[in-house]
Structures are given as C-alpha cells and as structure tokens.
Structure 1
Amino acid sequence: MESKTTTHLANLLQSCIDKKSHLAGKLIHAFILRIGLASDSFLSNRLIELYSKCGKIHSAHQVFDQIPHKGVYSWNAILGAHCKAGNLHDAYTLFVKMPERNTVSWNTLISAFARSGFEKKALDAYDSMISEAFLPTRFTLASVFSACGALEDSKSGRRCHGLVIKIGLDVNMYVANALLCMYAKCGLLRDAIRVFEDMPEHNEVTFTAMMGGLVQTDRVVEALEMFRLMCRKGIGIDSVSLSSILGVCARGVCGDFGQDDLNAVLSYNVHGQQVHGLTIKLGFERDLHLNNSLLDMYAKNGDMDSAEKVFANLSEVSVVSWNVMIAGYGQKYQSEKAVEYLQRMQCSGFDPDEVTYINLLAACIKSGDIETGRRMFDSMPCPSVSSWNAMLSGYAQSGNHKEAIKLFREMQFQSVHSDRTTLAIILSSCAATGLLESGKQVHAASQKAFFHTDIYVASGLVGMYAKCGKTEMATRIFSNMSELDIVCWNSMIAGFSFNSLDMEAFTLFKQMRQNGMCPTQFSYATVLSCCAKVSSSFQGRQVHAQIAKDGYMNDIFVGSALIDMYSKCGDVDGARCFFDMMPGKNTVTWNEMIHGYAQNGHGYEAVCLYNDMISSGEKPDGITFVAVLTACSHSGLVDVGIEIFDSMHQEHGVEPFLDHYTCIIDSLGRAGRFHEAEMLIDKMPYKDDPVIWEVLLSSCRVHANVNLAKRAADELFHLDPQNSAPYVLLANIYSSLGRWDDVKAVRELMSEKQVIKEPGYSWIDYRNEMQTYKVDKDLRMVNVKAQAVSDGSFCYNG
C-alpha cells in the first residue's frame, strides 16, 4: 500500500514540476510530512527538484538536510538545484563534499560551468572526470565541445575528438553536431566539413552550425549554398534555421558600402527576400525573434523601406526591434530618423537600453551630427564604457580631438574604468593634436589599468609618441612588446616616416618582412612615401615589384602612392602609364597625377588631366585645385589659372583657402602682373598670412620690383620676425642691383634681431647610396653622412 502511495505522490510531484506549481507542490509536501514519508529519499529527491524548478533553493536545501540516508541521487538533486540557481561556488563546494559521484554528478557540474561562462573550469572538471576513470556521455561531450568552441581551444577539442572516436560516439548526432560547432567556432572549416561529411545523417542543427561556421570565415556564398542543400534534402526548417540564414544575408554586405558594392547589396537583399517569403509560407510570420532577424537583414542591406514595412506589420515588437531600426537608419546616415524612432519607442512604453543609446550615438556620429549625439549621451542616466567610447570616437572621427580629450578627463573624474578601446581612441586624439603631456597621462592610465602591454593600446602609444616627435620612446615601447601584429609594425614605420627618418623606416620594413609579416596597403603606401621623399626611384621600383607580387596593384591607395613616388622621382611618364592602367580611380588618384605634372613643370598636361577628371564625373576637392593651380603657376598659364580659380566656388562649390590664393599670387607674380596681385591681396581674407608675402617677395626678386619687395619684406618682418627668408631675399634683390648699403642695412637688422639662417641640405642617390651634404659657414659642401639606400635586401626581388 505504501509503495502505491509513494508512486502516486511522486507522479503528483512530477506534474507540479512540469507546471512549476509551487503552491500545489507545497501542499503535497505538507501531506507527505503528515503521513510520515518525509524520510523517503525518492519523494525527497522529487521535492528538491520541484523547489529548484520554482527557484526556491532554500526550501530545496531544507528538504535535502532532512534526508536521513543521502544517496548519490539526493546529492545529484541538490547539486543540480544549485547549478540551476547559478550558485556555482556552492555547487562546487557540495560537489567536493559528495561521498560518492557518478557520471550524472560530473555532467551536472561541467554543464553548469560551460553554460555560465566558466569554460576553463568546465574543461578542468572534464580532465578530472577522465582521470577518475569515468566514461563521458553524449551530454558530457556536448558541454566540453561547447567550452572548447567558446575558448577557441582547438587543441583540447581535438584531444576530446580522439576519445569520441575511441568510445564510438562519433556517429551520435548530438555529439557530432557539438563537435562540428566546436571546429566552426575555432575557424577550422576544413575539419568542420570533414565532420559534416562523415556524419551518417544530418538535422537542422547540423546545417545551422555549418552555415554559422562558413559565415564566420566570410564564406557567405557557401553558407547560402548550404541552406539550399538543406532545403533540397528535406530537412525540417525551423525558426532558428531561418534566423541563421537571414544572418547570412545580412552578413554579406553589413556595414558601409559604396557604389561598387551595389550589385552585391541587391544580390543579398534578393536572397533575404526569398527567405522572407519562406518564413511566411512556413507560418513563422508571428515569431518575434525571426521577425527581428528579418528587420536586421533589411537594415544591414540598406533597404529601410522594406524594414519599415516589416516593422509596421509586426504583431509584437520588443526593444530589439526598435534598436534594429535605429541602427539601420544610423547606417544610412539618417540621424533624424533614428531620433524619431527613439521618440516613438518611448511613446510606445518601451524603455531604451544600453544598445539603444549606443546605436543612436553611432547614428549621430555617422551623420556628422555630433551635437545631437552629445545631447543623447548627456541624457543617459549611467552610460557604460561602450557609450563613452562611442562618444569619444565621434569626437575623434570629426576631428574635434580637444573635446575628446576633455570628455576622457570627465570620464576619469566619474571613475568610469577605461578599456582598451577607450585608450586607443584617446591616444589617437593626442597624436593628432601633438599633445605629448596628455599622451603621457594616458600612458600612465594604461599602466595603472594594466593595458599598456595590450597590443591594441601599445600600437596607439607608438603612434602617439611618434607623432609627438618622441621616436626613441616609440621605439622603446615597440621593442618591448611581447607580440607584434601588422598594426604595430605599420605604426612604427609610419612614425619613422612622419619624423623624416626614412632610412630607419626602410630598415624596419625589411625586418617586418624577414619576420614573416605580410605588408598591407598601409605598409606599402608608407614605404612608397619614404621613397618619394628621398627621391629614390631605385628603391621605389623594388617596392613596386613586391606590390605586384603580393597582389596590391589594383588597390587605389597603393596606386596613388606609386603615382606620387614616380612623380617625385621625376618619372612623370612612368606615373602616367601606371595611372592609365589603374582599373579604379578616386579623387586622391586624380589629385596625385595632376600634382605630379605640376611638380615636373608639365602645366598643359595637368590642365588637360584636370578637364578629363571633370568629364569623368569625379568631383574635384580643394587639393585638386591646389594641384592644378600650382601647375598653371609653374608653367606660366596665368589666365587659365585665374579661370579655374574663379570656377572653384561658382561651378564646383569649393571655397578657396590660403593655398589657392597663394598659387594665384605666385602665378601673377611670376608673370610680373604685380598690380593684379596687390589688388587680390587687398581683398582676400588671408592677407595677414606670411606665406602670401613670402611668395610675392620671391617674385619681386625675379623682376627686380624693389618698392613692392620692400612692402612685402616689411609685412614679413612684422608677421614673422625670426624667419630668415625675407631678410635673405631682400638682401639678394639689393645686391643684384648693386645697392650695397641697403644690403648692409638688412644684414645689420638680422644681427640686431638675432635672426639666424639655417644651413641648406642636399642629397644625392649615387650607386645605391644616399649622400647627404650641407653648406657650412664658409660656403663649402660638407658630406654629412652616406647611408645605403638599398642593398637590394629591404624587400625581396622575386
């Protein structure tokens, strides 16, 4: 009779467990106590499970403590209760105290560690389980492979894979799916595919894992093919599979894209629309998670009209839905629409979360609306580090580095702990503004937070010290880094180049290649800039050969750097030949070629190329006009230059700045049209800039215009009294006319004001050596140093 009662009560308790009926369970518990079955271990274990399921861990423990003879099942029950409640410390303490353990005990602990983000502890527990001669089950292995995947620990995963084969669980679909997921998360697609092919059968989890692994390694097209195979095989498609493939369609072109990517955008959007149709066909149109994936797909593909339609027809929305719409409009640079969605979200009774604000900040920053972004940031009750970083990044990207540094200081005053991203952003702002002292303070903050050895932060420190002229400190940090990635190498090479240490940059580039590091577009652009600065065409051609070997010939930025290098080395025909071969050109490319013609005195060709640029539909910018006006000035094309200058604002919407006025003044001065030059100076907004008067003074020397030269020199003496150039130029004009008393007066004025003329330097590329000379005080050429420009070794000639 008692056995039947126990069975009946156990069934009732199981019903309460399934329905999470805490109150009904308590009534049954009271009845069990009243009829004297409190010591029944079977019923006690069910009670522990009931209270655990209902989140009443204290009640579960009370039941456990009252069991007179606790067997392994009772211990497993209370262990499971603590694991479900997330009390992993207490769970582990209980586990250690257990007088007896079985496979379920180990599985419960390992699974809890893996689920709660303690993957390393899960693997340690697994190793202990194996060492105690327990045989893992499919549940053990699934948790272990999950932990290996999260840690990207393929070594432990392979070791476990060997045991799986040994005990014959490799044919178990549950284990094989977990194994496939592990390899996919570790980026080992070849191994994942081998597991996939060896599986006797597949299900929706198998295909979803395979698609995820392919997308993770940017093999988007293959992921789409995998979904098609899944459909052809008749595998049951659930909402998770559909969400996964929508993620593939979104991943295809997520982020910013330009006109060249339009076909790709349309292609992935069409795939997404087909999946959208399938979701309706299969009856999943009310699945909120799936609908959010649809919104995300359309938003990331830039199709906000379709996203609007989906959003308007949702039967249920969540904060995620609103966040996706805000992020989508941010990607489209429409901050006003993003703000509108925030307001609608709040009016609908939804409270914005951290992601909402970060998406909104990103929208404002991408749209260039920093002020709105700052207002949103200031309205946040307790912004996280990610929000601070978004705002700092906005200031840095817009060039407002002083505000970025100010905000960083405010962040420190509020005791918000910086992360590696914070420090990298603020270091870039310190570098851009040359604020060495602020950079040192950030360095100290990074050491305090133990981030100074982080590769990301260390690269920022190298860049900051280099930009502030402290190359020795930058080199010291670079040399002390435990590991180096391409960003670190590029930062150091760029630092040398920025400080005109071009030979050192060449040497470091050679070391980088010897260390097996493949140069990037930035590496090549920087080292080509060094070749251009020292006019070393021999070195530049070597780099060109290596660029061709590494497959960067079609890169626009590398191509622009090659054009600049050949132009500065005097080979303008070689530069034009390469320019004509480039498959794609942007404004920078056109500017470099026009400027190359200008540097080499080919004014007519520069003007023709400028006209070709306009005809091609490429929009000229301020630098384009500097290049073509310089060409006109150097080639005597005065009227053509004036015509182009007048068209800047009227036809192209580019406001002239100092360099444009300087080019026109120089052009008029070279032609001796001083009256027009003076008229332009009198009405221009930059008349107090020394450069204008220095250019005019140089022209006066050529044409022996003493009166205007005296005016220009007087302006320069007032604006820049320590600059030796106007004194020397004016003295040269007087000496050419034989006015020696005036020459003496100028030299006495220099002496009185303690103005010193710096010696001039020259360099000659002779037999692959860079010979550097300076003029000493006795006007003799002195060889300062001879450096090997190339021994054929800084890049490989293959």
Structure 2
Amino acid sequence: MPPSYEIAALIQKCTSVTSPKQARQLHALLLTTTTDGSRPPHLYNNVISKYWRCGSLGDSRKMFDKMPQRNLVSFNALIAAYSWDSNSAILACELFNEMGVECLRPNGSTFTILLRASYTLEDWLIGSLIHAQVLKFGFLSDVYLQTALLGMYSNCRDLESARKVFGGMVEKDVVAWNSMIFGNLKIDETAEGLSLFDGMLRTGIVPTQFTYSMVLTACNRLRYFYPGKLIHARVIVSKTLADLALQNSLFDMYCNSGDTRVAFGMFKGMCNLDLVSWNTMISGKKTSFLKPDENTFAVIKSATGTDLVSNYGKSLHGQVTKAGFEKSIFVGTALVSMYFRNAESDDAQKVFYSIIKKDVVLWTEMIMGFSRLTDGENAIKFFYEMCQEDHKIDSFALSGVLSALFRPCHAKTR
C-alpha cells in the first residue's frame, strides 16, 4: 500500500473534483489503500472539505462523525462547510460548543469562520457573542478577524460597532473599505458611502469590481449621473475587468440617466446575462418611451444564445408582457427562439399564436426550432401552414424542413 502522505498529496491535488460522486471515489480510495491505524486526521479533513465544496454537506458530516480521531482542523473544516449555507449556518455554532466538550482550543480561523456563519444568518446576537469570545481568547489584533467582524456588523446593520472596529484597524485593506461602504448603503446612508469611497481613494487603496459596483449603485440612488460616468471612465482607465454585477450597475446608471443609446449598446455587448440585466433593459426601454423596434429585437435576440434555463426565460417573458412588448413581431420572434433553445416548444407555440401578423422570419423560426428538436412532424406541419398563408419560402425554411425529413420524428416535444 502507498504511504498515507502519498494519498494525502493525491487528495490535495484533486482540485478538479466538482461532484459528490467524485468526492466519494476519493473517499473510497482512502478507505481501500490505507488501514485504520495509518490514517491521520488530515486525510479525513481533506475529504470533508472536498465533500462540502461539491455541495454535499451530509457526506461531510458523516465523514466527520465517523472519524476515529478529530482535531481542530476537522472542526474548522466542518464549521466552514456549514457557514456558507443559510439553512445550516446555525449548526456551525453548535459545532463550536462541541469543540469545548472535546477540550479543543479554537484559533483565529475558527472565529473567522464562525463570523462568516453569523454574516450568512444576518444574526447580530450570534455575531456579538462570537466577538466576545474573540476578546476572551485574545485574537482581536488578528487582521482577518477584524475584517470578518467588520463585515458581520455591516451586514447586520450595526454601523456603530462597524465604525469602532474599522477605527481600531491599523491596516485597512480594500475588503475593509468595501465592508464599510456596503454597510452604509444597506442602511441607506448613501452619501456617507460615497464619502468613504473618496477617503478610500485618498489612502491609495485600489478599488475592486465590487467597490465600483456599489459606488455606481450609490450614484444611481442619488441621481449623480455625471459622477457615475466619471467612475465609468476610471474603470476603463484602470483596466478593471467588469464582471456581470459591475456591468449591470453601469447599464442601470445609463438607463436611469436617459442615455439609452449607450445603455443598449452596452447591453448588446454583455455576456451571461441574468434577470437583473433583463429587468433593467426592459424598464429602461419602457421609460424611454420608445416602441419595440429592431433595436429591441437585436438586444433580446443577442441574449437568446446564453442557454437560459426555463424559470429564467419565463421571468423574462413576464417582464416583456408587463411592458406590453409581447405582441411585437420582433420581440415575439426572439421569445420563440429563446423557448426553442430551452426545448420549451409548447411555450414557443403560445407566443407564436399570440402574434396576429406573422412574417416569414417568425414562421421560419418555428420550423427551424422543431427541426432542431428533431420533431419532424411539427416542422413539416408548420412548413405546410406557412405555404398555405402564401408566404415566400426562403432557403432557411426549406433547409429546416428538409433537415426534419431526414431525422427521426417524435410525436411531440414536451
């Protein structure tokens, strides 16, 4: 059998493990290649971490309970697993009590993780009790703990305590500044949040994507559109890579400022759109007093290739209907395309039949959609109906129906 340190190194290197099944395979490897007496706690600890990173808290707990010997790292690993899940975060605090029963002394990492649990729960009482334990064990000078305390108080809307922690920090990094800005925005102290951002820049701290996203949100609230555009310029000059949250904040600002040309140009360039992006686009389109046009169609069509899941697509459809765009031939075609990409052919047909004046593009979209789903029967049916309506048959429609003829037909998709 290979030595335990070789097994440990192998488990540690398996960073690509992304499913409980793969984690169980590593667990099985541990059990079959080592004996009970040769398994130090760190082998089990690594597997506990693998399980929870794969989203399998139950397996993490089973592994923890079956360990012949647990150490501080074992407890920290399982506390960390619980701390990120709002449904299980309270169990992290119960584990802390179990540590005392097993006569294990917590370290700075233990308290940092526990503060993460209280942050997740947004429970001020638990957080303040953990703060008392931090003082008792003498870890208050730990910079990571200070940052965790600051984040917890900010998230629990206790800005007075957050300011005390912040004022006592010798080294204030970008995370600390972000926590203070976030806490002020959370209690609608928007102007103070912007003031903190100014102070942050004066100290030479480099803002992150999250910083810019929060500050742009603050500018939107106060209708400070010109400063918001200056911040956008800073993002560009600093070559900060804009993530989706930052892109949404920028997009929202330009929509609110009435600069729809820049806003929709930005929208078309965004990847991996979420519901926030769509809600902002639709509300911006509505408030701009513009009717659905080719531009509306283009921006919606650009997002139909992002593998939208069913629930997401229905939410988008609801927003389109609320805005009164559903019966537009352009927007309707985009919705039909979206539903076919999600294999929702019934919903695609509902949209199709709700549009009174159908053009050749919409008919072709239906034919191509059924063809891609290998539903030859419906593809041919819609091609026939299209001919009955005296529409000019183009090469796309013809290609779709021919493709359907040479594929196995299904009675109906979904």
| TM-score (norm. length: structure 1) | 0.38
Matched with 2:57 is 189
Contact 1:319 1:350 in 2 (8 A): yes
The residue aligned with 1:339 is 194
What is the CA distance between 1:175 and its match in structure 2?
Answer: 1.9
Which of 67, 78, 84 aligns to 1:199? It is 67
Deviations 1:136-194 (A, max 9, x none): 511112322x431xx2x122222222222112367431121121112222222222211
Alignment partner, residue 634 of structure 1: none
The one-letter code sitting in structure 2 at the alignment partner of 1:429 is M
- Distance of 1:280 and 1:215 partners within structure 2: 21
What is the match of residue 305 of structure 1?
Answer: 160
**Quick one: structure 1 residues 424 and 283, their matched pair in 2 at CA, closer, same or farther if it must change by over 3 Å?**
closer
Alignment of 1:258-657 (within 5 A): 268-365=123-220, 372-380=227-235, 381=237, 382-386=239-243, 387-394=246-253, 400=256, 403=259, 406-409=262-265, 417-421=269-273, 425-426=277-278, 429-430=281-282, 433=286, 435-446=292-303, 451-455=305-309, 462=317, 467-470=325-328, 473=333, 476-482=336-342
The offset of 1:445, in angstroms, is: 3.5
Cα distance in 2 for partners of 1:478, 1:446 equals 8
The Cα of 1:335 is off from its aligned counterpart by 1.6
Give me the TM-score of the superposition, normalised by structure 2: 0.69
Take 1:423 and 1:405, find their aligned partners in 2: how far apart are those partners?
Answer: 21
Cα 1:348–1:187 shift into 2, 3 Å: same
Q: Report the alpha carbon displacement of residue 359 of structure 1 after superposing the two structures with TM.
A: 2.5
Q: Is the 8 A contact 1:362 1:390 kept in 2?
A: yes
Which position in structure 1 is the counterpart of 2:100? 231
- Is the CA contact (8 Å cut-off) linking 1:455 and 1:481 kept in structure 2? no
How has the CA–CA distance of structure 1 residues 436 and 458 changed in structure 2, closer, same or farther, with 3 Å as cutoff? Answer: farther
Is there any run of 5+ residues in structure 1 with no aligned partner, and where?
Answer: 1-102, 108-134, 254-267, 500-798
Please list the CA deviations of residues 513-571 of structure 1 after superposition, one character each: whole Å capped at 9, or x if unmatched. xxxxxxxxxxxxxxxxxxxxxxxxxxxxxxxxxxxxxxxxxxxxxxxxxxxxxxxxxxx
Q: C-alpha distance in 1, partners of 2:292/2:74?
A: 54
Q: Mark the CA change 1:355 to 1:465 in structure 2 (over 3 Å): closer, same or farther.
A: closer
Residue in structure 1 matching 2:28, options 150, 154, 162: 162
1:240 deviation in Å?
Answer: 1.4
Taking structure 1 as reference, are residues 139 and 344 closer, same or farther at Cα in structure 2, changes over 3 Å only?
A: same
Q: Could you give the per-residue CA deviations for residues 408-434 of structure 1, whole angstroms, max 9, x where no partner exists?
A: 41576xxxx522137961575247525
Query: RMSD of the TM alignment (CA)?
Result: 3.8
Q: How has the CA–CA distance of structure 1 residues 316 and 216 changed in structure 2, closer, same or farther, with 3 Å as cutoff? A: closer
- Seen in structure 2, the aligned counterparts of structure 1 residues 202 and 495 have a Cα distance that, compared at 3 Å, is farther
Q: d(CA) in 2 for partners of 1:175 and 1:282?
A: 28
Label 1:250 to 1:320 Cα distance change in 2 as closer, same or farther (>3 A).
Answer: same
Give distance in 1, aligned partners of 2:351 and 2:309.
Answer: 17
The answer for the alignment partner of 1:92 in structure 2 is none
Give distance in 1, aligned partners of 2:109 and 2:301.
47
C-alpha offsets along residues 602-625 of structure 1, whole Å, 9 cap, x if unaligned? xxxxxxxxxxxxxxxxxxxxxxxx
Contiguous gaps of at least 5 residues in structure 2: 356-414
What does residue 9 of structure 2 align with?
139
Q: Which has the larger radius of gyration?
A: 1
Asked whether the equivalents of residues 49 and 77 of structure 2 are also in contact (C-alpha less than 8 Å), the reply is yes
Does residue 222 of the first structure (1) align with residue 74 of the second (2)?
A: no
1:252 counterpart = 2:110 = no
Paired amino acid for 2:341: M
Residue equivalent to 1:504: none
Q: 1:211 aligns with which of 70, 79, 85?
A: 79
Decide whether the 8 Å contact of 2:282 with 2:319 is kept in 1.
yes
Q: Deviation digits for residues 665-707 of structure 1, max 9, x if unmatched? A: xxxxxxxxxxxxxxxxxxxxxxxxxxxxxxxxxxxxxxxxxxx
Q: What amino acid is aligned across from residue 280 of structure 1 in structure 2?
A: L
User: Would you say the 8 A contact 1:453–1:481 is kept in 2?
Assistant: yes
CA distance in 2, matches of 1:212, 1:180: 10
The one-character-per-residue Cα deviations of 1:486-509 (angstroms, maximum 9, x if unpaired) are xx99x989979x99xxxxxxxxxx
**Structure 1 residue 269, shift from structure 2 partner:** 1.0
Contact 2:254 2:263 in 1 (8 A): no
Alignment check: 8 A CA contact 2:264 2:281 kept: no
Partner of 2:398: none
Amino acid corresponding to residue 104 of structure 2 in structure 1: I
C-alpha distance 240-366 of structure 1, shift in aligned 2 (>3 A): farther
User: Is the 8 Å Cα contact of residues 338 and 360 (structure 1) preserved in structure 2?
Assistant: yes
In 1, Cα distance between equivalents of 2:21 and 2:181: 41
Q: Partner of 1:240 in structure 2?
A: 109
Alpha-carbon distance in structure 1 between the residues aligned to 2:335 and 2:300: 15
Alpha-carbon shift at residue 393 of structure 1 (Å): 3.6
How many residue pairs were aligned? Answer: 336
Q: 1:169 and 1:329 mapped to 2: Cα distance?
A: 55
Match of 1:685 in 2: none
